[in-house]
Structure 1
Amino acid sequence: MMNKRIAFIAALMMGSLFANAQRVGSSPEYIKALTAQWKGERFADGRPKVSDAILARLKSISLEEAWGVLSNKGYANQFEGDWMIINQDSAMVGRVVTAQYMPSRPDLITVVQEQGKAEGRGQQGGTNSWPIDILTDGDVYVADGYGKVADGTLIGDNLGNSIYAKSRRGVIFYGSVRDVEGLSEIKGFNGWIKASDPSYIKQMMLTTINAPIRVGRATVLPGDIVLAKKYGVVFIPAYLVEDLVLTSEVTKLRDEFGHQRLREKKYLAGQIDSKWTDDIKKDFLNWINHYPGKLPMTKKELDDYLKERNY
């Protein structure tokens, strides 16, 4: 009887240990706490569900415009440059899924594998497939591979095909990949990586999924929105992305107006490049009302924005 009681207590203690263990994948509650300023719809995993329409508009925003808005909001550490890009002429936007990798350590690998099993993660193949398993349409797989190149290749073309099938996007790795030739042949897939190497992943382990990570100069949270272009990558907090898009779109219109008026010699450069007079503001609004193309935002969005800004 005593042995059964001891066994029962031990089982309870083990169950409590796993219940309170550090998860491989962050809980929805933790992700919600990390992204508490987002007030909109969320995915089941807790990540903000920024609309596809906003993502589509973001794709035409320049890195400088996005960086400028973030910098003005106090976000100075959201950009990383100096990438090898698999398809250089293609931009990519999407909702971030993060993964953290570290050099292998046997005792920690055991804990990660046991916890992954408790979370229902696949037990065949390497743990580097676990972040891929949870991807959905519109996600971008972002990983800190701590810059490892040889024996640090997080994916090859097989996993690349799986990533694209699930997300219709690609990857951003502070690390390396293999089979770049094969990856480049996956139509629609793209990758921002630090290097390529023919080796397989070795002496490297996954530690977390959807936790905060560092990507070079940038701090990245799960659910961030990434804007990846030819000359770098910007990671945008979800709660700021809609305002960032609209602000950047208005900036582009202001620049277009200013450049046109300077070519027409209607104003001096100093007039356009400083706070506008009331006459220039009126001219700009009239120019907007007769804009020859399709505005990137609705007229109501633009009117509401301009009412709140002293430009």
Structure 2
Amino acid sequence: MKYLESFFIALFVFCLGLQLPANGQTIPKEKLIALTPQWEGERFEDGRPRVPDHILERMEHVTIEEAWGIIRREGYDNQFEGGEWKILHPDEPIVGRALTATYSPARPGVQAYIDRQGEKADRSGPPNTWPIDMLKEGDVYVADGYGKVKDGTLIGDRLGNTIYANSGNGVVLHGSSRDREGLAEIDGFNAFVRDWHPSYIREMMLIGLNSPTRVGSVTVIPGDVVLAKQDGVIFIPAHLAERVVSRSEVIRARDTFAHERVRSGTYTAGQMDTEWTQAIEEDFIQWVEKNADRLKEELGVSQITIDDMLEE
């Protein structure tokens, strides 16, 4: 019986990708690279795609609808998670690169195995601190706590301070958090959680770290770009991040032009909602030239996109 129990524990952990090598990864770097083959840019040491900071800065202006439409056309139908999110600061978006963690209801034999692997990897503190220790500047801590609220508080204000110190960013938790008032005092920190609860985390175990995870109806890959706004959270594959910001800036400019021209009576709504004529396209180019500074300052349209529109 003891042999069978050990066998099933090992099989369970292996299937979940919990082999922790010396560097503390849950899956080898080459496997993470294999999961993101379309990314051709820089990577972190752990294998995650490192979407450039300037793309993340532009992403803050992207709407959920713009991002959803663009990646859906690329075949990514399951990247948005709405529903009931409790947002620490509803008017502040979260944008960054996903570093993931997956939790499951505790089971003694498996928990003991995880603890031993943590010791071998020279990890300190309880397992719910391990992902936080791995955070880099610009990361978003994304955790699947299977929606647990009572006794499912993945962070409080102490861990929140550490998260912000390590990443300068916030969290998206398919679970709960405690210490809402304390977290609100961390300048620049934001959190999307399923609920708030005063309890402490208990009877949960970390079964995945920096590996694919699930947030509601979405499969999240480490290195995905997180865009969290009042409508919900969308997880953008790293190789599509630049396309999303570039295309959304064009959409934003064209929508603004259309709204202004309809309000002024220059064109009808029907003319704006169908394929534009050559005359309208030329009018749009002239409008972009005249409003370039406003597009950059008020709408977050990059100079690169403005130049591209003028060259078309």
Scaled by the length of structure 1, the TM-score of the pair is 0.88
Shift of 1:70: 1.3
Shift of 1:188: 1.0
2:277 maps to 277
State the Cα deviation string for residues 217-241 of structure 1 (Å, max 9, x = none).
2111000000111221111001100
Q: Are 1:106 and 2:108 an aligned pair?
A: yes
Shift of 1:302: 4.2
Do the aligned partners of 2:253 and 2:295 also contact (CA within 8 Å) in 1? no
Shift of 1:109: 0.7
Q: Distance in 1 between matches of 2:103 and 2:117?
A: 16
Aligned counterpart in structure 1 of residue 19 of structure 2, from 18, 22, 26? 22
* Structure 2 unaligned regions, length at least 5: 1-13
Shift of 1:307: 6.8
1:287 maps to 287
Q: Distance in 2 between matches of 1:261 and 1:27?
A: 54
Q: Distance in 2 between matches of 1:230 and 1:112?
A: 36
Q: Distance in 1 between matches of 2:310 and 2:295?
A: 18
2:252 maps to 252
RMSD, aligned α-carbons: 1.9
Moved more, 90-99 or 24-33: 24-33
* Secondary structure at the counterpart of residue 223 of structure 1: coil
Change (3 A) 1:155 1:285: same
The code of the aligned residue for 1:90 comes to E
Shift of 1:284: 0.9
Shift of 1:34: 1.2
* Structure 1 unaligned regions, length at least 5: 1-17
2:127 maps to 127
1:35 maps to 36
Do the aligned partners of 2:123 and 2:130 also contact (CA within 8 Å) in 1? yes
Q: Distance in 1 between matches of 2:18 and 2:89?
A: 40
Shift of 1:304: 4.0
2:160 maps to 160
Change (3 A) 1:21 1:277: closer
Scaled by the length of structure 2, the TM-score of the pair is 0.88
Give 1:9-158 correspondences, 5 Å limit.
22-23=19-20, 25-81=26-82, 82-122=84-124, 124=125, 126-158=126-158
Change (3 A) 1:201 1:261: same
- Give the percent of matched residue pairs that are identical in Structure 1 and Structure 2: 51
**Greater C-alpha radius of gyration:** 1
Shift of 1:303: 4.7
Q: Distance in 1 between matches of 2:250 and 2:177?
A: 38
Q: Distance in 2 between matches of 1:38 and 1:79?
A: 21
Change (3 A) 1:51 1:300: closer
Change (3 A) 1:294 1:161: same
2:4 maps to none
State the Cα deviation string for residues 119-164 of structure 1 (Å, max 9, x = none).
2222x3x200000011111000000000000111111111111101
Shift of 1:298: 5.0
Change (3 A) 1:21 1:137: closer
The code of the aligned residue for 1:260 comes to E
